[in-house]
Amino acid sequence: MGDRVIEIGCIELLSRNVTDRQFHSYLNPEREIDEGAAKVHGLTLEFLSDKPKFPDVAREFVDYISGAELIIHNAPFDVEFLDRELSQAGLKKLSHYASSIIDTLAMARELHPGKRNGLDALCERYAVNNSHRTLHGALLDARLLAEVYLALTRGQESLVMDLAQPSAAQTAAALVDAKKLTVLRATGEEAAAHEKILDAIDKAAKERGGSLWRKLLSPS
């Protein structure tokens, strides 16, 4: 971002799917771009000189995010810049327009303490293809972050699915008519082997009353 916001990129996640609804704009920072920052995002003042200024797109931006749950990687960093730009545009802070703000960096650090939790590291960890990302672009980063967020929260989705849907065993049991099952009786040899095992259990568990199996089967 540098000293000013020079690019904004947002995409919409709805029902755990990325939609076609997005917001993207390059912005004229009206000042020189830090050389180190330029190496990260590849944007130059020459390229941005004819782009709109933040106040020109601010209202459209807040209309896009209004009422939404924002997902941002290292949220405090981005929110600080956006709050400053919104204030200069005569608007309220980001939190006024968003229903909540989720910091995926904080989530990742909680799930993977002591590990690298930058966006590239998370893409690698969760097998999100970022091979086409050579520079930091806001819209591309938003798309990658959406996929990372879905991966970070996949356990919650699985829990909901487990609660909502019967297991394979439950489904199979519902389809089987018990009256039509074939009952296979143990052979004499198998029964003798079973009794031998119970004898060994009786001996080992003598102080605790012997085999629970024989207790349950013995007449009261």
pLDDT over 90 percentage in the chain: 51
pLDDT reported for residue 117: 96
Segment 179-190, tens digit of pLDDT: 566 667 778 888
The pLDDT confidence band at residue 163, using thresholds 50, 70 and 90, is very low
Task: Please tell me what DSSP assigns to residue 208.
Answer: G
The pLDDT confidence band at residue 138, using thresholds 50, 70 and 90, is confident
Three-state DSSP state, 162: helix
pLDDT reported for residue 112: 95
24, 41, 112, 136: the active-site residue: 136
pLDDT reported for residue 1: 39
Known catalytic residue at 96? no
> Looking at the whole model, is its pTM more than 0.85?
no
Residue 121 confidence (pLDDT) above 50: yes
